[in-house]
Structures are given as structure tokens and as C-alpha cells.
A and B are shown apart, each in its own frame.
Chain A
């Protein structure tokens, strides 16, 4: 077993354990903190997969922006989150069975499939190549994504805005 495989196994154990903590923790704030740990380990996977730009994007956007948004939402809605509120609905056991069956099917398919592993190495200047790909082949989805982000920005401001009496 090489060092890389050892690092992967440590990251995998931390990722799965913190993900289980996210969905089972009674305290929603602990869930949010464990989600940050899980997102960090995912960026570690990206580094192991030789995608450093994606790892940086993961830390900046998920850990930096989405996790902060989630913690803000938890803080703004915390009054209802007393310990007496049940964390799971009545169908939690159906969801558990579905999730375990889906995991079993996916692991089985992954193990029996014949993956065509390529011996090629990624481009040496992968970030520059990624930028060129984004601005040439995928320029239309790139622009659509920017419009989507603008719409999300304006939409979330309008939805979350507090309407004062007599403003309209």
C-alpha cells in the first residue's frame, strides 16, 4: 500500500464519517460544521486526482461561500431548533432502506464494470488548458452559467427581502 492510498483511505473515512454526522446530528449547527469538514475532504480528493484548480474552487465556493450561507440561515432560523424537535420524519426507515439498496447496487455495478482506464497523463499546464476549453468549446454554457448566477443573485435578494408595510 502506497502513501497515496493511505492518504486516500484516511480522507475517505473522514468524509464518510462526517457525512453520516451531517445527516444524523440532532443539532443543525453541528451538521453545518461537519458539512464543512466533509467539503474539505472532497477538495483533498481533487488534489489526489491531480485537479488542483478544482480543489481551490471547492474550498473557495463550497467552504467559503455555501457553508457560510448555510450557517447564516441556521443562525437566522435558530429559534425553532430546540432539542425537542424531532430531526427525522416518519418515513425515515423507508429512506434508510432506499439509500442502503442504492448504495449496494452502485457498489456492485462499480465492482463488476470493466473500466477502460487510460494511460495518458493530464496536460502539464492543466489550468491554462481548462481556461482555453471554457472559452472555446464551452463558451455558450459558460455565458449561460453567468446569466444563471445573476438571476440567482437578484432572485435571492427579492425572495429574502423583508417587505415593509406601506412600501408598495
Chain B
């Protein structure tokens, strides 16, 4: 049997890598990829807690399904926004999209 802590540690690493990507990249699509990595890390945690702590109730799996649903909606809207910004401003670098900044 694989210890629960192994899953949690891998998920923690994936979350932090995704956080670094979301904070440090300049390309908006790369930022979205970092967010997807973070959501996946959260899902690993949810499934691991379901399997090891409450296997008899399926709440963890249900939550993971909702997280996947919201991630799909978020990716669709985010990429539509990126394509729209690219069409209007010819850039996907987030620092160049600063017309609301003083």
C-alpha cells in the first residue's frame, strides 16, 4: 500500500510548480497552464483523502468532478479572452495589456 503522505507530497510539489508558473510567466496561456496544474494538484489531494480517510462515502470523488467541471469552464472562458485580446491588441503578454492601469 502506498502511504497517503506520498500522494500529498507530490500534490504539494505540483501545486507549487503551478503557482510559480502562474506568478512568473508573461504569456497568458502559460499562466492558464499553471492554474490547470494547481487544480490538478488539488484533485489528487481530494481523491487521496477520499481513498485513505473516508472511502465509504464518495464526497471526495464528487468534489473532484465539480473541480474538473469548473476547470473546463475556466479554461474555455480564459482562452476565449486570450484570443479576443490577441485579436484586438496583437499580444498575449499580460504586461502589455495594461490599459486599465494608471
Contact = CB atoms under 8 A, between A and B. Distances in A.
Nearest to A65: B72
A157 B73 CA distance: 12
Contacts of B84: 159-160
Given A54-B64, A110-B12, A123-B56, A70 B33 contact: yes
Given A57-B68, A74-B29, A126-B58, A95 B24 contact: yes
B79 interface: yes
B97 interface: no
- B contact face: mostly helix, strand, loop, or mixed: helix
B76 A152 contact: yes
Contacts of A70: 29, 32-33, 36, 75, 79
B24 A23 contact: yes
Contact of B73 (A32, A102, A152): A152
A23 B1 contact: no
A16 B13 contact: yes
A61 B68 contact: yes
A77 B29 contact: yes
Interface residues of B, number: 74
Interface string A47-76: 011110110011001100110011011101
A159 B52 CA distance: 42
Nearest to A24: B21
A75 to B, nearest CB: 10
A46 B14 contact: no
Contact of A99 (B4, B17, B55, B72): B17
Contacts of B86: 76-77, 80
A117 B76 contact: no
A5 B58 contact: no
Contacts of A51: 47, 50-51, 61, 64
B79 A42 contact: no
B12 to A, nearest CB: 4
A88 B25 contact: yes
B2 to A, nearest CB: 5
Interface of B: 1-2, 4-10, 12-21, 23-27, 29-30, 32-34, 36-37, 40, 43-44, 47-48, 50-59, 61-62, 64-66, 68-77, 79-84, 86-87, 90-93, 95
